Chain A
């Protein structure tokens, strides 16, 4: 450690300070620490091992490298969240390579990389695999730009790989050969998740890999893995804590189900279960022996009906997190309310988001049932076709501890279907009653009143998503008053320049603002950009839209200045 860093006037020798600080892990705490004094700032920066970059354009790799010399683990998030829903064009940016090339020089001992919504090429993956000798953990979520060839490089070269977690990426799937690239000498794998890859891998290679990696605790396979194959895998890895199955249905019952049931029963450490593609009443019971211990059950790819779910949940007393498809209906949610008193998180996804005829899904009735039976509920994501204010009010009262409330009434601008009123009072109740609310997604017919409530009551709100709502600029002005607001994403709302500019003093305390299909103009954006040089005000140009309109606006604070890699359709004002 650099002797110049020792300060005679400091109360602690720096080594002691660094040792103490190494126990502090959250980046919020570390940020606070770094502000105390210069010596604390230095001690903090030398002892930091993990850096979290919430917006890849808010800072440059060079700045990060300069401040933090000893990083072993990096998390980077790239594109705005609405890119998940195709609102951001391809080639927008967020390429990870510039980061990797700096890291190769400054952090040759980098062990962990966690990326979300970044563009990752095969070349980047190969670079990562070959330049960082001790590399161990790779997690890619919602990324795109790579193919299974990139995974081949990682499997081949990362001799100490402990984690390969590939989730929901826009990946070019050229086949399952990548898995066979893990050398026989690799025994260190602890986490392997390839559930969202489509191609079949060599089962022989997978089976051998699983049996030689004795520390494997998370295994999530893809749909091509059959029940028979799953059984073999479970025999090799009874120590698993998280399991994602392949298809949970097969044409011919090749062996007695008792063997499969025993395999599940032998997994004494299993806490999380997912996959369960195509699960039917015939096969679902094989998991019952493992259900009592489960804390997280992801059934969002299993088209279960209410009865099947009820039978299953009767065994799941310890459940804390549950993800479902709305095929279970309100009756299924009633079962949730009665069987899972410890439930903290519920997500209900629509099986047929674009086709109403197929299945009604869940309604306000199911929502209320869950809230009655699960008072500890604090996280919900709920897709429905109808909702009422009184139901949302009831849910708020039954579950006052909500931190994340994401309600999606699927038809834009739909009112309370019974009273025909806007959903203002429902969301108002949420923010009034649930004082810990941190993340909110609103939907349905909403006037400015909803936003007035949010601005007034949501003191802890950090993330807000708004779509097809509001009546005037006031709506947005209200929410910009939320003291802890960090991320605001808005689409298809009548908020114009006045609204945008009302946040002039606010945006630097936020991570980012997204506004698309609103009433903001180029002139409004230029005014903002001129007044606030520490913000990047970017407009994504649309081929056929009016030149004076700012169809998609992305505003974020940055210390890195305007983007140098912006494509032609992104204008930095």
Chain B
């Protein structure tokens, strides 16, 4: 068999092989193929036929076709299709970063475990029991034991505060107002005022940097990303944290 020089092989790598059913591919025909200037992987379809799909985590049908080879690196590129199955922009861009489906060959369980590791800091008390749970401890001054809540279960401060109210109401003397906390956007004023109005307590949290903060100062999403644990503090201890 004819030996293939590295350069020829490199050309082969860079050329897409046309799907021609009538021609049989013999080794001797390689030169013909090699002179075609196309982009694509050996074995990949020519560009006009390749598609790009959404590589949604956990969705086995979505996958990303690799279109280009460049200096031995692989990366996909987003293409526009009129198909109604158009993947969402965000996911496509995320998926196109040098990822070929099923490569390297690592099972899902291991991939997910590694992913969970990286979103976790070494020293923080926050735990992730699954890929989508953010459990933080909630303590209340004077209460005999702590509770744990999954921040991902709530979509806003008002959700969280009603849940906490239910959890900790047994530890207070009914000083929480019966009225529900009005839904409002985050503001510099604590949105838990309704809950804690007139009570002796203030809801605080410890953030990524270890600082004690007043709950409600930052947008909800930022809060869930930076909150490590919460503490329902006595107002008398919380002087200086915010408006009370």
Contact of B69 among A251, A413, A519, A548 (CB under 8 A): A413
Given known pairs A86-B102, A498-B26, the reply for A198 and B42 (CB within 8 Å) is no
**Chain B, 132-191, CB within 8 A of any chain A CB:** none
In the complex, the answer to whether A354 meets B9 with C-beta atoms within 8 Å is no
A85-B102, A90-B61, A422-B6 known; A168 vs B25 contact (CB < 8 Å): no
A199 touches B (CB below 8 Å) = yes
Q: Would you give the shortest CB distance from B65 to chain A, in whole angstroms?
A: 8
* A546 to B, closest residue via Cβ: B49
Q: Which residues of A lie under 8 Å from residue B100 when comparing CB positions?
A: 412, 492
Q: Chain B nearest CB: distance from A52 CB in Å?
A: 22
Contact between chains at A251 and B4 (CB < 8 Å): no
- Which chain B residue lies CB-closest to A84? B107
B44 within 8 A of A: yes
Asked if A394 is an interface residue, CB under 8 A from chain B, the answer is no
Which of A61-69, A150-158, A468-476 contacts its partner?
A: A468-476
- Contact residues of A: prevailing secondary structure: loop
Count, chain A residues at interface, CB 8 A: 73
Distance, CA A544 to CA B82, complexed state (A): 12
* Interchain CB contact (< 8 A) of A544 among B26, B83, B109: B83
From A86, A383, A492, A498, name the one whose CB has the most chain B CB atoms within 10 angstroms. A86
Chain A 59-118 residues near chain B, CB threshold 8 A? 82, 84-90
Contacts A85-B105, A410-B104, A471-B12 known; A517 to B43 CB distance under 8 Å?
yes
- Asked if residues A408 and B105 are in contact (CB atoms below 8 Å), the reply is yes
Are B6 and A87 in contact (CB-based, < 8 A)?
no
Cα of A199 to Cα of B130 in the assembled complex, Å: 7
| B1 at interface by CB-CB < 8 Å | yes
> Which of B24, B102, B103, B110 lies at the interface centre, i.e. has the most chain A CB atoms within 10 A of its CB?
B103
Q: Using a CB-CB cutoff of 8 Å, which residues 450-472 of chain A contact chain B?
A: 452, 465, 467-468, 470-472
Given contacts A473-B26, A498-B25, A543-B85, contact A447 B9 (CB under 8 A): yes
B72 within 8 A of A: yes
Q: A549–B19 Cα gap in the complex (Å)? A: 8
B63 on interface, CB distance cutoff 8 Å: yes
- Given A303-B117, A447-B9, A474-B1, A518:B43 Cβ within 8 A: yes
Closest to A350 in B: B104
CA distance A142 to B105 in the complex (A): 14
* CB-CB under 8 A for A548 and B130, given A422-B9, A497-B24, A498-B24: no
Beyond A546-B45, A549-B19, whether A467 also contacts B110 by CB under 8 A is no
Residues of B within 8 A of A548 (CB): 19, 21
B13 part of interface (Cβ distance < 8 Å): yes
A523 contacts the other chain (Cβ, under 8 Å)? yes
B89 within 8 A of A: no
B41 x A468 contact (CB < 8 A): yes
Most buried by A among B4, B99, B106: B106
Chain A residues within 8 Å of B12, by CB: 471, 494
Closest to A474 in B: B27
A245 to chain B: closest CB distance in Å?
14
Binding site for A on B (CB under 8 A): 1, 3-4, 6, 9, 12-13, 17, 19, 21, 24-27, 30, 41-45, 49, 51, 53, 60-61, 63, 69, 72-74, 81, 83, 85, 98-111, 113-114, 117-118, 125, 129-130
A408-B104, A449-B3, A544-B83 given; 10 more Cβ-contact pairs under 8 Å: A85-B101, A85-B103, A86-B102, A87-B63, A198-B129, A354-B98, A412-B41, A468-B42, A517-B44, A523-B21
